[in-house]
Structure 1
Amino acid sequence: MSLALETRDLTKTFDVGKRLMRPPKAQVHAVHPTSLNVENGETLGIVGESGCGKSTLARMLVGLLPPTSGTIEIEGLSGGSSPADFGRVIQYVFQDPVSSLNPRKTIRQILEAPLIHLHGMGRTERSARIDEIFDSVSLRPEFLDRYPHEFSGGQAQRIGIARALAANARILVLDEPVSALDVSVQAQVLNLLADLKDELGLTYLFISHDLAVVEAVSDRVAVLYFGAVVEEGRAENIFASPRHPYTRLLAESAPVVGRPIGGQAQGELPDPMNPPPGCAFASRCPRATDICRTDRPELRPIEGDQRAACHHPLDP
């Protein structure tokens, strides 16, 4: 199967306290060197707690943030390609569906923008395409002449998905697409995404902190901690037999009806302006030894296609 997206040693740092003629006072290391492969038609789940770099990584993939270093290649397009070329291939679905839509424009105007600027469609062609897209996300045609504030969260998220489809993109980056929705609406949106993926042959990068959702929708999972991938593999293997202590912590911390919440770990995320020299999880890990505090572990094969960045991986 061919690759839809590939990153190599992708990093992002933000300057803190910029000064006119001198270097910044400090830098925040948001994403450490990250390499990912996503195959065509695959759903890659990206999980991690708040502040681990999920959204920063996603915004680099779609061109909303320039990477500090590293490369991104999307269906043969590299960093030198135009934003319009990227827009025809990859699109972003935002976490907050209502605020991601322009409140001054009707839904029809919002959906027309990519059809005009990316595909140069005329009025008649645009109208037919918009009707087709709206039908695919199960929304009524009369909604097209309303404004974003007139819709519920679930309806607004369907409109956000429709906007991404209007660009005719083959890769969607879904940044917490159901976290702001009620549970019953979450199920409806997830079923819609599954149907669209099958019908249109889409590729998804599904970003979430909800492990149950990620397990349900993903083919493979990448676990992020402190801006770096610490474990990667098939979804069923990651959740059934985590090999990195942080992955187990996430799994045990997820609320389950009838089970006490576990996975308590001491400490917090390290200081992003002063990253530790060794494993970023060492201060919270019960298995940490001296080597964990001095040498950063590399992401390496553990079993099958499962990989973990850990000096002392867990037993299966």
Structure 2
Amino acid sequence: MMPALKVTNLAKTFPMKPRFFGPTPPGVRAVRPMSFEVAAGETLGVVGESGCGKSTLARMLVGLLEPSEGAIQIEGRALDNANPAEFGKLIQYVFQDPQSSLNPRKTIRQVMEAPLKRLHGMAQAERDRRISEIFASVNLREEFLDRYPHEFSGGQAQRIGIARALAANPRIIILDEPVSALDVSVQAQVLNLLAVLKSQFGLTYLFITHDLAVVEAVSDRIIVLYFGAVVEIGKAESIFANPRHPYTKLLADSAPVVGKPLKAPEQKGTELPDPLNPPPGCAFAGRCARASDQCRTIEPDLKPMGDDQFAACHHPLQD
């Protein structure tokens, strides 16, 4: 079956400004070449600590950033980054901060009409009908349409952001930390809404977050990123219960759980490597108790670790 989304050797390097004296420093490799597929109707979770490349990956997938190399295919179609309208009809983005993602000078009706006019060329009557349908699906009253973004709570603004994404009638929605800026009680409401909308509209999700409890609950499969690369990928029910990469286990052990004593923090000097001076071999070797000379010199490839689970590790954890 054709995947909804196929990514092949996708990478992003941000160039550095030339210096007045001396050589120009190498670019920052925010995302190293990665390949994966997302099946139609699937929710693929993407996790990793800040700076691992999650948002850069998301912005490339929706055409907000041009990849340095690699290819993106949606339903078998290679998308040309010079034609953003083709991206918009197939894939949409829900931003992390619901308030700042909405234009403060436009009413919600104007915000909602933009994708209907620019992507689908709908007439006024058809736009009104479509907006009414979408607002009903996200449990918002139509009287909100003539208000401005600052008049809404965070939960209401995020529902509007989701409604705007739905207006384009996409196949895939990228959810970039969609509940991290919301209160816990509102988070549950938005997550339940997303589950209903996925079933109602036949959507495929990429769910980007640093909240492991959330991503495990909503995802079918999970990708773990570290220093811009995929270090592990597998089914949601097994990847944290039976991690194969030491970094995945570190993430799972670091997540706070009620009734579980907090672990001591990592030792000083165990942050992400310097992106301007990346280390040879495995980028996680400096934080890994299992690291060997092989890890510090040879970068590991993703290898199968059982049923539908892969890890990029020379010394993977065992069952």
Band of TM-score, shorter chain:
over 0.9
Aligned AA for 2:198? Answer: K
Are the equivalent residues in 2 in contact too, given 1:252–1:263 (CA < 8 A)?
no
Deviates more, 1:112-121 or 1:257-266: 257-266
Cα-to-partner distance string for 1:285-315 (whole Å, 9 max, x where unaligned) = 0000110000000011011110000000001
User: In structure 1, the residue corresponding to 2:115 is in which secondary structure?
Assistant: helix
Residue of structure 1 in register with 2:278 after alignment: 275
Per-residue deviation, 1:24: 3.8
Per-residue deviation, 1:264: 3.7
Per-residue deviation, 1:245: 0.3
Q: For residues 263 and 279 of structure 1, what CA distance do their matches in structure 2 show?
A: 24
Aligned AA for 1:217? Answer: V
What pairs up with 1:128-143 in 2 under 5 angstroms?
A: 128-143=129-144
Q: Is 1:302 matched up with 2:317? A: no
* Uncovered stretches (5+) of structure 2, i.e. residues with no partner: none
Residue of structure 2 in register with 1:241 after alignment: 242
Aligned AA for 1:309? Answer: A
Is the alpha carbon distance of 1:24 and 1:92 closer, same or farther for their aligned partners in structure 2, counting shifts above 3 Å?
Answer: farther
Aligned residues: 316
Residue of structure 1 in register with 2:114 after alignment: 113
Is the alpha carbon distance of 1:23 and 1:57 closer, same or farther for their aligned partners in structure 2, counting shifts above 3 Å?
Answer: farther
Cα-to-partner distance string for 1:179-237 (whole Å, 9 max, x where unaligned) = 00000000000000000001111000000000000000000000000000000000001
* Uncovered stretches (5+) of structure 1, i.e. residues with no partner: none
What pairs up with 1:1-316 in 2 under 5 angstroms?
A: 1-18=1-18, 24-80=24-80, 82-262=83-263, 264-266=265-267, 267-316=270-319
Cα-to-partner distance string for 1:20-68 (whole Å, 9 max, x where unaligned) = 9x97433111001111100100000000000000000000000000001
User: In structure 1, the residue corresponding to 2:240 is in which secondary structure?
Assistant: helix
Aligned AA for 2:119? Answer: L
Are the equivalent residues in 2 in contact too, given 1:265–1:285 (CA < 8 A)?
no
The percent identity for this pair of structures is: 71
Q: For residues 8 and 206 of structure 2, what CA distance do their matches in structure 1 show?
A: 16
Q: For residues 102 and 77 of structure 1, what CA distance do their matches in structure 2 show?
A: 31
Q: For residues 41 and 231 of structure 1, what CA distance do their matches in structure 2 show?
A: 21
Aligned AA for 2:200? Answer: E
Q: For residues 48 and 28 of structure 2, what CA distance do their matches in structure 1 show?
A: 18
Per-residue deviation, 1:18: 3.7
Q: Give the TM-score taking structure 1 as reference length.
A: 0.97
Per-residue deviation, 1:17: 2.0
Q: For residues 80 and 137 of structure 1, what CA distance do their matches in structure 2 show?
A: 31
Are the equivalent residues in 2 in contact too, given 1:251–1:263 (CA < 8 A)?
no
